[in-house]
Amino acid sequence: MSLALAPIDVSVDIEANLPCRKFDPDLWFSDSPAQLELAKSLCGDCPLRAECLAGAVDRAEPWGVWGGEIFERGSVVPRKRPRGRPRKADVARDAELAVEVEERLAANGLDTRSSVRLAA
């Protein structure tokens, strides 16, 4: 199991019950939207969630789930879209989710205007 999926805070025991160390690391880098949503949900109670998200934003992670958010091409996206043309309902839902992502980033102390580029 890889130890490089989330930054380690020295105050947190390496054997802590971190989801990215407990489950298959490939889950956080899946191509399947459903698996990425599962990875996001597993991050929910992680004690390092805020640090993981902040580190991913600083590094402009190219892809994967970091701190409970999906990154794609260095941007936070509300959800991973399947291949093909999106349905109109999906486009509207993505707009709503983008607002939710901005609110969650702000709640973690990250200024979405300067530190994170949100994908459209």
Q: Is 57 labelled a binding residue?
A: no
Q: Is 11 labelled a binding residue?
A: no
Calpha distance 80→84 (Å, rounded)? 12
The C-alpha R_g of the chain, in whole angstroms, comes to: 14
Do 43 and 68 contact (CB within 8 A), yes or no?
A: yes
Q: Is 62 labelled a binding residue?
A: no
Task: Tell me the two tokens of residue 28.
Answer: 């956080």
The CB-based long-range contact list for 107-111 (8 Å cut-off, 24+ gap) reads 108/49, 108/50, 108/53, 108/54, 108/67, 109/50, 109/54, 110/53, 110/54, 110/57
Q: Is 46 labelled a binding residue?
A: yes
Q: Which residues are annotated as a binding site?
A: 20, 43, 46, 52
Residue numbers belonging to the annotated binding site for [4Fe-4S] cluster: 20, 43, 46, 52
